[in-house]
Amino acid sequence: MKHLFIPILVFFVISCKSMQAQKIEQGITGTVRWYEGNMMPGPDTKTNEGQAVEREIHIYELVTMQAAHREGELYKDVPSKLVTTIMTDRSGNFSVSLPPGRYSLFTKEEDGLFANTFDGEGNINPVTVKEGKVTEVKININYKAYY
């Protein structure tokens, strides 16, 4: 019986932590999906919804394309303060509490960091967190897809 207690306790602690992470009152929540291969629409092709993936998300203070060092599709250096990192769950979902501010989100890939969304001011994957609000985002990792 003693040997079962610890694994059960660990399971409940992890479950509670997971539930708490999803119930944030201020910050960012979202999903991450992976796209690969031919994404060209056609009469005999189905819409590709991507695949939910586990990824480590790096959240930096807002950074511009001009400041970050990019090689091909991936960033090798992000000269901004790393605020936090968080893992998605198996379904690609994540939630993180953050103070109000503007942030840049990247996914950690094998050879660097990925982001593919920009605003009119050259900011990389910009997300704004407002006081008492949760901002929802969708991150599509598509550097191995072609259109």
8 sits in which H/E element: helix 2-22
What domain range is 75 assigned to?
Answer: 2-146
Q: Which amino acid is at 64?
A: T
- CATH number of the domain that 7 lies in? 2.60.40.10
Question: Which three-class secondary structure state does DSSP give residue 20?
Answer: helix
Q: What's the rounded Cα separation, in Å, for the pair 51 and 39? A: 13
**Number of domains forming the structure of the chain:** 1
pLDDT of 68 = 98
Q: pLDDT per residue over 13-32, tens digit each?
A: 455 444 444 689 999 999 99
Neighbours of 94 (CB within 10 A): 23
CA end-to-end span of the chain, whole Å?
57
Q: pLDDT per residue over 81-130, tens digit each?
A: 999 999 999 999 999 999 999 999 999 999 999 999 999 999 999 999 99
Biggest CA pair distance of the chain: 61
* Proportion of the chain above pLDDT 70, given as a percent: 84
Q: What's the rounded Cα separation, in Å, for the pair 24 and 135? A: 11
| Contact by Cβ (8 Å): 129, 99 | yes
The pLDDT-based confidence of 2 (bands split at 50, 70, 90) is low
Query: How do beta strands 126-129 and 69-71 pair?
Result: unpaired
